[in-house]
Structure 1
């Protein structure tokens, strides 16, 4: 791999992309191809498979450009990510979902140029993420400047984690992901750092396309995600929940109530009417 790295890329920080997968053969190829097709060469790809039986392993065996992969049972995504940490070589680490992919082939090049000049006091950098429905149709981008979401982050996950860059030294200082979390381990880890430190937002950069339908993208799992967030806050000294968190919980209970009373299809329509009133694009009827 090193022999193909351009001189320009060698002067930019190396980026490690980590993908955790379990029976993800349907989408994994697109994910891997989006990494390997990046114009930025100073990168590595690490795939941690949880012991798949759907053709994922054969896909990995056939791809010699993957720098490291392993297939064995694990206890979840955070266990898989922690396994990868002992193998990464990059100065920056990106965790990419097996159903996600880089938005275009220049994402890492643009990202590396920004990371090369970011302050050494910054250990978290991110751009925007494009949401897709399960059919692959684009919905809308999410991701706001750090100054706009800094206070909100102390109550809910307000930065998109796919495509987010973690400085490797962050894990040396803060430790690994807490594997007792099922959904909120990425939020808890980032909260360790960002409750006092700053993050860096890269404007006008869509990093990743993220399909909806994962662990935290349904109203039923959203409640668990918020409960995980509250547990993380308590771990970091926030005794009482804040108004942003409470408001989010109330909205989820309203969604679940509508689901039960009028049925899923009607509930989705009603919730998107609410989004339209608030000036937001439709989501529920699109997913």
Structure 2
């Protein structure tokens, strides 16, 4: 990784064929009232007018281009090439309120032992604001066990010390989805994830090109939990909690496979639900 600049926040925006919404994300990063920042856009092999859009920003942003390898590889490249001591992730279909970075930077200044924090969010679905369900409510601190069932950390809401990637590893490039769920579990089993209870991130969903719409998320969550159990880093209570959720997700996914005529795959996950196994 490159030499780090103290207090600089490196904003990493991965994108693939998102020219239709990317400008909003970049503009919200450029509009931040926190000036110690760099903005890195990683074009993951786009074939739409993304490059023409990015060219218009000239030296306001750094642009990295790679062949299409997925969002994890794009984020990882941006992180590896970044110069800041802090990393702030921003998905290309999301946006920030103008004081998002300054609010999180102030939190880290006041809490020098903290490694990662996230803000609350405004959710937009199909152009309309919606309220998150009770199960999506974020907590602050040691969030590992509630995070097993569903992802309670949003990439676009996060700021973290870059050194945390040295300790926990990067995004898993083998995961087309749930790569964030996987990283947050690796972090949160022994690291508090703090919440700034102010909605400073605008999270947009409901469009057809979202990765989560085209892949089974439970399949990758199952693999993530299994990898974590087998890494032997969990406490006995955490391991039991992880095992319980692992078996539950295996059963749910197996039933879904059976309903869709994928009997062999379903039988495999039913077997995993009966014992820890490996997939």
How does the TM-score come out when normalised to structure 2?
Answer: 0.75
Shift of 1:247: 5.2
Partner of 1:280: none
**In structure 1, distance between residues paired with 2:226 and 2:199:** 32
CA distance in 2, matches of 1:244, 1:156: 10
What displacement does 1:212 show? Answer: 3.5
- Report the RMSD for the aligned CA atoms in angstroms: 3.1
Note if contact 1:92-1:165 (Cα within 8 Å) is conserved in structure 2.
yes
Alpha-carbon distance between aligned partners in 1 of 2:230 and 2:150, rounded to the nearest angstrom: 14
Match 1:215 to one of 195, 202, 211: 211
Instruction: Give the match for residue 6 of structure 1.
Output: none
Verify the 8 A CA contact 2:142 2:190 in the aligned structure 1.
no
2:218 is the counterpart of 1:226: no
Deviates more, 1:145-154 or 1:182-191: 145-154
Q: Name the SS for the 2:199 alignment partner.
A: strand
In the alignment of these two chains, the number of paired residues is 246
Q: Deviations over 1:148-173 (max 9, x none)?
A: 84422245422223221121111222
Shift, 1:147, TM fit:
4.5
Aligned-partner Cα distance in 2 for 1:105–1:201: 18
Does the aligned pair in 2 maintain the 1:20–1:80 contact within 8 Å? Answer: yes
> Which stretch has the larger CA shift, 146-155 or 171-180?
146-155
1:63 matched to 2:63? The reply is no
Answer with 24-33 or 84-93: which moved more.
84-93
**What runs of 5+ residues in structure 1 fail to find an aligned partner?**
1-9, 260-287
Give the Å deviation of 1:251: 6.8
Q: Deviations over 1:10-43 (max 9, x none)?
A: 9x93211101111110000111111111122111
Q: What is aligned with 2:7?
A: 13
1:106 aligns with 2:99: yes
Could you tell me whether the CA contact under 8 Å between 2:91 and 2:155 is conserved in 1?
no
Q: 1:174 maps to what in 2?
A: 168
1:151 equivalent to 2:145? Answer: yes
Question: Quick check: 2:32–2:98 contact (8 Å CA) kept in 1?
Answer: yes
The normalised TM-score by structure 1 is 0.73
| Change in 2 beyond 3 A, CA 1:252/1:140 | farther
Shift of 1:235: 4.3
1:277 is matched with which residue? none
Report if the CA contact (8 A) 2:32-2:100 is conserved: yes
